Amino acid sequence: MAKEIDIKQGIDWTTIWIYVALLLVGLMNIYAAVYNVDNPKPIFSLEHNAGRQILFMSVSFMLILIILFVDFKVYDTFAYIFYGIWIVVLIGTIFLGSDIKGSKSWIKFGAFSLQPAEFAKTFTVMALAKYLSTMGVNVSKMKYAVRAALFIFVPPIIIILQKETGSALTFAALIIVLYREGLPGVYPALIISFIVLLILALIFPNWVVVLGLALFGVLFWYLFLKRYERNKQNLQRVIGLFILFSGFVLTVDFIINNVLAPHQQKRIKVLVNPDIDPLGAAWNVTQSKLAIGSGGAIGKGYLKGTQTKFDFVPEQSTDFIFCTVGEEWGFFGSFVLLGLYFILLTRLLSLAEKQKSKFARVYGYGVASILFFHILVNIGMTVGLMPVIGIPLPFVSSGGSSLMSFTLLLFVFLKLDAHRSYKV
């Protein structure tokens, strides 16, 4: 028992201090986002998001204690059980969840709500780590890669049925884990290719993109392939990819106009042309960019942001919290926040590579991948480089479900790493 009780000797304190710093940055900026000059309320007041965030932080600290004092073997041993239970919870949420802003992904407990989709990321990473650490599993082989993909994509499919597309998309980040564990690079390359083609299909007419693909195919054949590589087999591959990519481009308009909800269609179209709906779907992003740009080098000063004070940016304490940082703390404050995230991610990857247990290593990469996706997309959407899909900035955005789920995700790994670091 001494090994479990004296956890402070093995825990990675660098990561913990970064976690605490991000919580404080988040709390300060949440309070700035909800601060009312005419009717100021103390930061501890539960009448606004800052006070509630302090409450969520307290619950998260209790969650940390539970995680650290539970036997580290629990996470590996019961990974599949946790995953299965949470799949049932996600399905139940479709029928029992409360409808909030068009999404039926919340379960209410009195005055508070919980979003199971946020916690599903942790249990999915856990189950994926369990599977990939099973003896004989090799994702470089198709059958194992498909099975691993099923672990990843079952939860987001259910989450999409809850009309919570943003949370569902974050699971795609786990392709990084599969690549680290041996998935051939052609698969990530295909995913990146589809993303690029999607953007091109939104910007240019379909026939222009298809013509460009044909031209690229011809240039690739004659300029990049050596003479002895220009055989029948490679020709079939090039033609097959051309047909696949062209078919995807030609179906983009159909998917956007017939599969996605109207507000999702607008968000995607606004990404490439903000002028089509400046007072509607483009309003958030336009005002967010104005707020960030107006901060200049050192910002307007704490609690002095005009865009923030007059509520020009909706959801400013949650999805658009970064524009509060940009306006009041300027480029310098934004750089510091990004620096904290950079140190956190590189620290997690470094710790993951040091793990003796494959389960812990895979789990560590899963944590880093999920956090990276959230940081990239959240900040990207506040500056107009990503579509607005409504996902929080880790440890900084207000919200109990997001804070507790990120805390769970991170500290399970720190518990696993503490076991590795402990000197017997």
Which residue type sits at 247? G
H runs (alpha helix) in 70-115: 73-77, 79-96
Task: Determine the Cα–Cα distance for residues 25 and 395; give it in Å rounded to an integer.
Answer: 9
pLDDT tens digits, 229-243: 888 888 888 899 999
Mean pLDDT throughout 314-333?
A: 87
pLDDT per residue over 33-83, tens digit each?
888 777 788 888 888 889 999 999 999 999 999 998 899 999 999 999 999
For residue 391, is pLDDT > 50? yes
Looking at the predicted structure, is the pLDDT value of residue 275 above 70? Answer: no
Q: What is the mean pLDDT of residues 270-294?
A: 70
Tell me the average pLDDT across 196-211: 86
Mean pLDDT of the chain: 86
Q: What is the mean pLDDT of residues 92-96?
A: 89
Question: If pLDDT is split at 50, 70 and 90, which confidence band does 203 have?
Answer: confident
Label residue 1 by pLDDT band (50, 70, 90).
Answer: very low
Give me the pLDDT at residue 271, please: 59
Q: b/e string for 135-173 if b means 16 or more Cβ within 10 A? A: eebebeeeebbeebbebbebbbebbeebbbbbbbbbbeb
| Structural domain spans, the chain | 2-187+273-421, 188-271
Give the residue among 204, 197, 202, 203 at the shortest CA–CA distance from 247: 197
| pLDDT of the residue at 3 | 46
Residue 381 confidence (pLDDT) above 90? no
Instruction: Give 288 or 404, the one with higher predicted confidence.
Output: 404
**C-alpha of 325 from chain center:** 19
pLDDT, position 286:
77
For the segment 193-210, the average pLDDT, to the nearest whole number, is 85
Contacts 24+ apart (CB under 8 A), 34-41: 34/317, 35/303, 35/308, 35/309, 37/309
Q: Which residues fall within 8 angstroms of residue 237, CB to CB, at 6 or more apart?
A: none
